[in-house]
Amino acid sequence: MGFRIKRENIGFMLILPTLIIMSLFTVFPLFEGIRISFTDKHLLKEAMSYVGFDNYRGLITDEVFLISLRHSLILTAVVVFFQFIFGIILALALKQDLPGVRFFRSVIMASWVIPVVATVVMFQFMAQPDYGYINIFFRLIGLKKLNTYWFGNKYAALPVIIMLHLWRNIPFYAVAFLAAMQAIPKDLYEAAEIDGATAWKIFFAITLPGIRNMIIVMVTIHVLWTFNNFDFVFLSTGGGPVNATDILPVYVYRQCWRSYTMGYGASIGTVMLVILMIYFIVYIKIYERSER
Amino acid sequence: MRKKIVTIMLVFVFAGIAALLFAGGETAKGKVSLSFWNMPFVTQEVSPQYVTKWEADVKVVLPDYEVDNFYGPGKYADQRDKFLVQAKSGKPDVIEGLLEDLAVYVQKGLVEPLDAYFNAWEDKDQFVVSTLAPLTINGKLYAIGYNTNARALVYRKDLFAKYGLKVPKTWEDFILTAREITRRTDKKVYGLFLCTQVGGPRAAQEFISWYYQVSGKKQMFDVSGGQKKFNGTVDQLEIVLTLYDEAFKGEYPACDPDERGNGWPSEDPGYVAGRWAMAPMGPWLWGRRTESDTAKVNLEQNTAITSLPYYSKGVPATYLEVKPIAMSAFSEHKNEAWELIKYICSRDKMGEWLADSGGIPARKDSLQLDVFTKSDIGWWIQGFANELPKSVAQAPINWGPVSEANLRAVNYVIYDEKSPRESAQWLYDKINDLLDRGEL
C-alpha cells in the first residue's frame, strides 16, 4: 500500500518547502517583531510585559526618531528620483551607437558588483581633507576653502551619502532601462520619424510608455531598498555627525544593540513597515487605475 | 522507486540535522574543543607572529584540548552583541573583553563566578589586588584580569623641545599648548587628538577620565544592592563638555576639526604617523611601532609619557582599565575552560603577550620577567604604571547607553548644536531618564 499524492495536490506539495521556509524566516519574525513592539522587552532583562501603545507614544516625542524619519523620507525620495532621471539618461546614451559604448556597457555594472563596505571605504578616502579626490578637485578649481572631511561635515554628510547611493545604483537602472528600450519595436520609431516627430516627442510618446513596466519595477524595488538601507549610513557615518545622517534602520539598530531596548526598536521597525505598506497600497492603486 | 528516493533523502536530511544539533565539544580525536574569543588576537593589537607562537604553545601545554583559532569578531561592540545572543549555545567557552561589558554579562547571567576556581589556584596571590576589585561584582569574582593600565598622555617630546614648550599640567595649559603646536606647524601637526566617536569605547573612556577629575574621583554611579544612583550634576558635566568645546575652537584649534566624531581608528595611527603631538593613550600603542619607520622613531625616540592634564579646581584622576578573561556560564567544559584561563593568565604567557602588545600585566611575577626588566619596553610600561594610583575603575552598570549619551553630548558641543550648558542639561536629563527606565 503505497502513498499517493492526488494530481491536483502536487503543485501544493512542490511549493510547500518554500512556504515552510518563508513562514519560519519571514512571516514568524514579522509577527514576532510586531508583538515585541507592544512590550518593554530589554535584552538584559528576563522579565517582559505588555505596555500597549507606550512605545508608539514615545516615538511621537522622540526627537531623534523624528529626525531619522525625516532623513529616511528625504533620502528615499531624492535618491530614487535622481536614480530614475540619471538612469534614463544613461540608458539613452548607452543605446546610441557611439565609439567605445560596447566596452562601457560591459564595465558599467562595476559599481554594483563592488561590495558595499568597499564602496564606503573608497568614498571615505575620497572625502578625506587635503588628500581626498573631492578636496583635490575643489582645490584645482580654486575652491580650497571648501577643504573638509565630507562625512564629518553636518551639512554635507547626507548629500554625500545620497551621492553614494546614486553612484552605486544609476548603472543598475540604466542597464534595466536599456534592456526595456531594446524590446520596443523599431517600427514605432521609424513610423514616428516618417511622421516628423521630434526627439522629445518620440521619447515621451514611445520610449517612456515602452519602458513603463520596467520603471514601475525599478522604482518599487528601490523605494523599498533605499528606505530600508542600513549599511551605507552605518558604515560611513553611523548616523552622525550629531544626528545629521540618522535614518530609521540605523536608529532601530542603535535602540536594539546599543541600548538593548528591543521593544522600542521593534516599534520603530513596525512604523517603517506601515509606511512602506501605505506607499505600496497607494502605488498599486494608482498603477491599477492607469492600467484601466 | 519514487518512495525509496524520498525515504533515502529524508534519512540524509535528518542525519545531517542530528549531526549538527548533537555535535558536542568533543573532536574526532577525542580532544575537548574550546572556543576563546579574544579581540586583540584579531585586530593585530598583538602581533600575528605572537598569535602563531601562542597557538603552537597551547597545543603543547594543553595537549588534550583543541583551542579553536577563531577568536571572535574584531570589534568589542560586535563581540558583546554576539555573546549576548549566542552565549547560551555554550560558545565561546572563554571570552576576553572590556570591563564595561563584563557588567552587562553579569547582569544577564552569562558568565560564571570564578571564586571557587581562583581560590584553589596556587598562583592567586600573584595577582594585583586592585585589578581583581573591579572584576568583583556583587561580592563574586567574575573574571581574571590579564592586563591593566591607566590612561596617560603621550606627547612628542621632540616637538616640545623644538618649540620650547612646557608639558601641560592643567586643562588651560593643555589647550593653549596644543593650539600653539597647531599654529607653529601651520596645521601640519595638530596639538591634540581627543576621541569623540559616538559608540567608540576609547571615546567613552577618555570622557570618563575628565569626569573623574571634575567629580573629585567620585563615581558617576553608585551601585548598591541592585540599586543605581546617578551622582553627576549639570555643572560637572558642563565643565567636561567645555573642555571639548575649547579643544575644537579657534583659528588654530587644539584638535583637527575634520577629526570631529572620530575615534581610536584615527587616534592611534595618526599619533604614530606624526599627525598630532599629544593624545590620551594606553600602553597598547607600543604594538604600532612596527607599522612603519616613522612610527618606530616616533614611539621609541620621540615620545614621552606624562599624567593627563587635570581640571585645576578638581583632582588628578584617570580611567583604570582592567581587561578581563571570563568563562561562559553555559560552557559545557568548565573545568577545561578554567585550565585554559589559567594558561592564558599564567606568569609567562601573560608576560609574553603584554610585552608583545604593550601592557601592564595583572600579575606581579610577570612584571619581573626579563621581557619587562631587561628590554626597551620598560620605560613605556613604567610611564603608564605611574598613573595607576590616580586611576578609578568604572562602576558595574550597563555603560552602553550612558557612554553613547556622553558622546552625543560631546558631539552637540563640538558641532555647535548646543552650548556646553545646554548639552550638559540634555545629558543630565538623558542619564536620569535611562536610570528611571531601568536601562542601566
Lowest-pLDDT range, A58-72, B9-23, B350-364, B389-403?
Answer: B9-23
What contacts B159, CB < 8 A, 6 or more positions away? Answer: B165, B181, B185, B189, B277, B302
Residue of B77, B259, B439 lying closest to A42 (CB–CB): B439
Q: Report the percent of chain A where pLDDT is more than 90.
A: 61
Query: How long, in residues, is chain A?
Result: 292
Q: Report the percent of chain B where pLDDT is more than 90.
A: 60
The secondary structure of residue B362, as a DSSP letter, is S
* Contact flag A42-B438 (C-beta cutoff 8 Å): yes
B165-195, pLDDT tens digit by residue? 999 999 999 999 999 999 999 999 999 999 9
Distance in Å, alpha carbon of A168 to nearest chain B alpha carbon: 25
Domains along chain B? 25-148+321-386 (3.40.190.10), 150-319+393-436 (3.40.190.10)
* Contact flag A42-B404 (C-beta cutoff 8 Å): no
Residue B1 predicted with pLDDT over 60: no
The A residues from 169 to 228 touching B (CB cutoff 8 Å) are none
Residue A97 predicted with pLDDT over 70: yes
Parallel, antiparallel, or unpaired: how do β-strands B65-67 and B32-34 relate? Answer: parallel
| pLDDT attached to residue A99 | 82
Contact B146, B362 (CB under 8 A): yes
| pLDDT attached to residue A40 | 94
Please identify which residue in the block is written with the cell numbers 583637527.
B256
Q: Is B269 on the interface with A (CB under 8 A)?
A: no
Helix or strand holding residue A81 (H, E):
helix A63-95
Provide the b/e sequence for B234-244 (b: ≥16 CB within 10 Å).
eebbbbbbbbb
What ipTM was predicted for this assembly?
0.73
Q: Is B262 on the interface with A (CB under 8 A)?
A: yes
| pLDDT attached to residue A270 | 97
Residue B17 predicted with pLDDT over 60: no
Average pLDDT (B70-82) is 90
For residue B193, give the 3-state DSSP assignment.
Answer: coil
Q: Is B108 on the interface with A (CB under 8 A)?
A: yes
| pLDDT attached to residue A278 | 93
- Candidates A204, A123, A205; CA nearest to A166 is A123
pLDDT band, residue A176 (cuts 50/70/90): very high
Please identify which residue in the block is written with the cell numbers 628590554.
B375
Parallel, antiparallel, or unpaired: how do β-strands B391-392 and B318-327 relate? Answer: parallel
| pLDDT attached to residue B211 | 97
Q: Please list every residue in chain B whose beta carbon sits closer than 8 Å to the beta carbon of residue A132.
A: none
Q: Is A2 on the interface with B (CB under 8 A)?
A: yes
| pLDDT attached to residue B4 | 64
Contact A283, A274 (CB under 8 A): no
pLDDT band, residue B29 (cuts 50/70/90): low
Q: Please list every residue in chain A whose beta carbon sits closer than 8 Å to the beta carbon of residue B259.
A: 149, 152
B157-167, pLDDT tens digit by residue? 999 999 999 99
The B residues from 368 to 407 touching A (CB cutoff 8 Å) are 398, 400-401, 404
Q: Is B260 on the interface with A (CB under 8 A)?
A: yes
Residue of A152, A242, A257 lying closest to B81 (CB–CB): A257
Q: Please list every residue in chain B whose beta carbon sits closer than 8 Å to the beta carbon of residue A245.
A: none
Q: Report the percent of chain A where pLDDT is more than 70.
A: 99
The chain A residue lying nearest B199, using CA atoms, is A258
| Residue of B86, B107, B198 to mutate, interface with A, max A Cβ within 10 Å | B198
Q: Is A155 on the interface with B (CB under 8 A)?
A: no
| pLDDT attached to residue A201 | 94
Q: Please list every residue in chain A whose beta carbon sits closer than 8 Å to the beta carbon of residue B108.
A: 43-44
* Contact flag B108-A152 (C-beta cutoff 8 Å): no
State how far the alpha carbon of A83 is from the alpha carbons of A176, A227, A248, A276, B15, in Å.
Answer: 12, 14, 21, 19, 49
* Contact flag B198-A240 (C-beta cutoff 8 Å): yes
Residue B13 predicted with pLDDT over 80: no
Q: Name the more confident of B173 and A238.
A: B173
Residue A116 predicted with pLDDT over 60: yes
Lowest-pLDDT range, A177-191, A257-271, B389-403?
Answer: B389-403
Residue B217 predicted with pLDDT over 90: yes
Residue A112 predicted with pLDDT over 90: no
Q: Work out the burial of residue B440: count CB atoms within 10 Å of its CB; fewer than 13 is exposed, 13-18 middle, 19 or more buried.
A: buried
How far apart are the C-alpha atoms of B71 and B92, rounded to whole Å?
9
Please identify which residue in the block is written with the cell numbers 585554559.
B340
pLDDT band, residue B27 (cuts 50/70/90): low
Backbone angles phi, psi at B228, to 5 degrees: -125, 135
**A138-142, B96-100, B240-244, B350-354, range with greatest mean pLDDT:** B240-244
pLDDT band, residue B7 (cuts 50/70/90): low
Q: Name the more confident of A160 and A97.
A: A160
Distance in Å, alpha carbon of A237 to nearest chain B alpha carbon: 9
The chain A residue lying nearest B403, using CA atoms, is A258
Parallel, antiparallel, or unpaired: how do β-strands B36-37 and B94-96 relate? Answer: parallel
Q: Work out the burial of residue B23: count CB atoms within 10 Å of its CB; fewer than 13 is exposed, 13-18 middle, 19 or more buried.
A: exposed
Q: Please list every residue in chain A whose beta carbon sits closer than 8 Å to the beta carbon of residue B84.
A: 43-44, 260
Helix or strand holding residue A229 (H, E):
none
Average pLDDT (A198-213) is 92
| pLDDT attached to residue B100 | 86
Backbone angles phi, psi at B206, to 5 degrees: -65, -45
| pLDDT attached to residue B6 | 54
Q: Name the more confident of B333 and B262.
A: B333
Helix or strand holding residue B146 (H, E):
strand B144-150
Residue A73 predicted with pLDDT over 60: yes
- First-last CA distance in chain B: 62
Cα B115 to chain centroid distance, Å, stands at: 23
Distance in Å, alpha carbon of A255 to nearest chain B alpha carbon: 9
Average pLDDT (B86-96) is 94
B255-286, pLDDT tens digit by residue? 999 888 888 888 888 999 999 999 999 988 88
A121-142, pLDDT tens digit by residue? 888 888 887 778 888 999 899 9
- Within 10 A of A266 (CB to CB), how many other CB atoms are there? 23
| pLDDT attached to residue B12 | 61
Quote the radius of gyration of chain B (alpha carbons, Å). 24
Q: Please list every residue in chain A whose beta carbon sits closer than 8 Å to the beta carbon of residue B417.
A: 154, 242
| Residue of B2, B258, B266, B402 to mutate, interface with A, max A Cβ within 10 Å | B258
B367-392, pLDDT tens digit by residue? 888 887 777 788 888 899 889 889 99
Question: B293-302 long-range CB contacts below 8 Å, 24 or more apart?
Answer: B298/B156, B298/B271, B298/B272, B298/B273, B298/B274, B299/B272, B300/B376, B301/B158, B302/B156, B302/B157, B302/B158, B302/B159
- Within 10 A of B321 (CB to CB), how many other CB atoms are there? 27
Mean pLDDT of chain B: 89
Q: Is A263 on the interface with B (CB under 8 A)?
A: no
How far apart are the C-alpha atoms of A206 and A201, rounded to whole Å?
8
How far apart are the C-alpha atoms of B58 and B68, rounded to whole Å?
11
In order, the DSSP letters of B9-56 are HHHHHHHHHHHHHH--SB-TTSPEEE-EE-HHHHHTSS-HHHHHHHHH
| pLDDT attached to residue B368 | 84
The chain B residue lying nearest A154, using CA atoms, is B415
- Candidates B170, B197, B171, B192; CA nearest to B181 is B192
* Contact flag A259-B401 (C-beta cutoff 8 Å): yes
Q: What is the pTM of this model?
A: 0.81
Residue B26 predicted with pLDDT over 60: no
Quote the radius of gyration of chain A (alpha carbons, Å). 24
Lowest-pLDDT range, B91-95, B160-164, B263-267, B339-343?
Answer: B263-267
* Contact flag B261-A254 (C-beta cutoff 8 Å): no
State how far the alpha carbon of A129 is from the alpha carbons of A138, A152, A253, B195, B259, in Å.
Answer: 11, 10, 29, 18, 10
* Contact flag A43-B401 (C-beta cutoff 8 Å): no
Residue B10 predicted with pLDDT over 80: no
Whether the upstream peptide bond of residue B92 has omega within 30° of 0, thus cis, is yes
Q: Please list every residue in chain A whose beta carbon sits closer than 8 Å to the beta carbon of residue B400.
A: 258-260
Parallel, antiparallel, or unpaired: how do β-strands B136-137 and B278-281 relate? Answer: unpaired
State how far the alpha carbon of B322 is from the alpha carbons of A148, B102, B131, in Å.
Answer: 37, 11, 6
Q: Please list every residue in chain B whose beta carbon sits closer than 8 Å to the beta carbon of residue A257.
A: 77, 81
In order, the DSSP letters of B55-124 are HHHHHHHSTTEEE-S----SSHHHHHHHHHHHGGGT--SEEE--HHHHHHHHHHT-B---HHHHHT-TTG
